[in-house]
Amino acid sequence: MTHDILEKADQKYVPQLAVILYESDIDNEYYLESHDIDAQGRLKAGVPLSMECISAIAANFTQNHTISPHGAIPSNMLYADNRLGHDKYIWYNPPQKRMMYFSKGLNIPNAYYHVPGIIYVAKGNSLNLYAFKGKEPETELFKAPFFNTTDGAVCLGSAKIDYPDNPSYQDIIDYWEKKFWLTEFSHLGGSRNPTKNNLVTVTKKSEEAFDYEELLPIGLTLEYLLK
């Protein structure tokens, strides 16, 4: 909301109403009081904040600043929870080639590499990744064979991607995938290889094909993620 106001800094905003919150020092109860503001910017006498006023403020905020996605649910989305404070989205990509970027210290060229099928779990401000064998997700899951991940948890770093306004479900998917794939890979999560052999070697070989024998079980199932 603050970001939107800064973008409209050339507009004049005129104060209309002030809301004061009172808290009881005995039983932690709250009381809301509203004050109209006159043309000189002075507070008028306070009155209890009405339900009509609360509803109007909530409706305006919801209409103009909603983050709940809408529209058709993509065929690769497995789970969606839009509840405020419980937002969680799970989807997958089949095996494919992906453009990957690496820090100079890894000595891996930026290029397209073969990757296995990937399951994404976006919850709040965090992202987890898991690998699977085959073209579509099955029960057994494996560690994502990438740098910047620790047992599924992703370290989201250098990619500067703005969260979409009034997003569709596809916008949610695009946002998180860009956050991951446009971030420069730089380190081993937890200083441990997520593959049987050295991840640098595994990644370089993946320019030709991905070796599924390199995947390590993570001890989670797809059914567990979808609970």
Q: How far apart are CA 26 and CA 14, in angstroms?
A: 37
Q: How does pLDDT run across 59-68, given as a tens digit for each residue?
A: 555 544 456 7
Cα gap 55→161, rounded to integer Å: 33
Instruction: Give the pTM.
Output: 0.72
In this prediction, residue 61 carries a pLDDT of 54
The full set of domain ranges for the chain reads 13-65, 77-225
Task: Give pLDDT, residue 95.
Answer: 98
Exposure class string for 59-88: b at 16+ Cβ within 10 A, else e: eeeeeeeeeebeeeeeebbbeeeeeeeebe
Query: What SS3 class is residue 98?
Result: strand
pLDDT means per 10 residues in the chain (227 residues)? 51 80 78 82 82 66 62 96 88 98 96 98 94 94 96 84 91 96 92 95 97 97 94
- Helices (H) and strands (E) counted in the chain, each on its own, are 5, 13
Distances in Å between the Cα of 185 and the Cα atoms of 11, 55, 154, 189, 200 are 42, 46, 11, 10, 11
